[in-house]
Amino acid sequence: MPVQPRKNGPLHRLRHDSPPSDAPLDPLGAEVGVRRREAHSSFEQACAITAWQQLYDQLQPGRFAGYLKELWLDRLQCFEEFTNRALRQSCIVWPGAYWFGIPCPGQPDAARDGSTVDDNLITISPGGEEFELTTPGDFHIMGLVVPRDALETHANITLDGGLPAVLANTPLLQVNPARKREFIRRQRELLTEAERSRLGPSDVVAYRFMRHELLDNLTDLLASASPAPAPLRSRQQHWRQVRRARDFAMSQPDVPLVVADLCNHLNVSRRTLQNIFHNTLGICPLSYLKAMRLNAVRRELLSPESRYLSVQDAATDWGFWHLSQFAVDYGRLFGEKPSDTLRRREK
């Protein structure tokens, strides 16, 4: 079924504030059965998953297509995600949980906060903390979000010494590649079995078995895990500079993008700026930052919460003064006219 964009915090940034302690929280894990959601834009894809904050920016030209298959097993969230275009993703999972991202093998351009996610690596993030992914076209990833208390309890039963200490402050874990492939295979099978069986509220035994098996397989994968080698310091510095440049460009959207302004803000030369972006993303800085703003306009045109009623107003407020060139750039990146995007929101 198509994704219906929903309220997910601000359109162009993630919220880092927590709800008040007395604010009611929606119960997690109350959903029954597998939900499959089809998306036709990176904005819809970011809205597809339950209980996350996500912000996706499309980097690769062409029409977007993606899907998410999601299954809840008593506060444990299991999902498979596919996206056909290269993306930049900012994500926050709910507090009190661990997210484990298991990219399928053979996707060498996937990266977590600038560090390449090789076939022998998985990525991890505690709830409430923002992380960033860059993913290639035709990207498959399996995900598992486990409440911290449930994971610790299960690890204390199944592992000598309990939960491995490497989970603390470790964004990437090195694991046995064969065990990783087996974990992916079995997680996909469980999603397929649950979808085919059309499990309902009365299938408590089946849900409990699936949950237990996933926790068993996860702790088995983590038992031999070790921290991934630290990336080169220069690459980490370059990645931070890219984020600073993006934050600068997005914080004053109506100001035209000028290389000299970026150089002054980052205190680097033009040549250094070019090298940072090419070494990190393989793209020139202005092309990357223009793509960020084009994605912002697209979110405005798609979101029912946007205050913009016309393409012209959204485009000019994001620094696109030459509307004919904007339309060309927009169509080249997303494969459709901006007016067609706005019409989809109005339906």
Domains of the chain: 35-227 (2.60.120.10), 233-346 (1.10.10.60)
Identify the CA nearest to 97 among candidates 169, 154, 152, 165.
152
Query: pLDDT tens for residues 28-76?
Result: 555 667 899 999 999 999 999 999 999 999 999 999 999 999 999 988 9
Q: Is 173 in contact with 121 (CB distance < 8 Å)?
A: yes
User: By the 8 A CB rule, do 48 and 322 touch?
Assistant: no
Q: What local confidence, expressed as pLDDT, does residue 1 receive? A: 40
Question: Which regions in the chain score pLDDT beneath 70?
Answer: 1-9, 17-32, 200-202, 232, 346-347
According to DSSP, the β-strands at 97-103 and 139-147 are antiparallel
Q: What's the token pair of residue 227? A: 């921290």
Q: Which amino acid is at 174?
A: Q
Angstrom distance (rounded) from CA 340 to CA 138: 25
CA–CA gap between residue 210 and residue 247 (Å, rounded):
42
- Paired tokens of 152: 């610790």
Q: Is 319 left (phi over 0), alpha (psi -120 to 50) or beta?
A: left
At residue 279, the pLDDT reads 86
Q: What is residue 140's predicted lDDT score, i.e. its pLDDT?
A: 96
Q: Can you tell me the distance from the alpha carbon of 49 to that of 79, in angstroms, rounded to the nearest whole number? A: 9
pLDDT at residue 6, rounded to an integer: 40
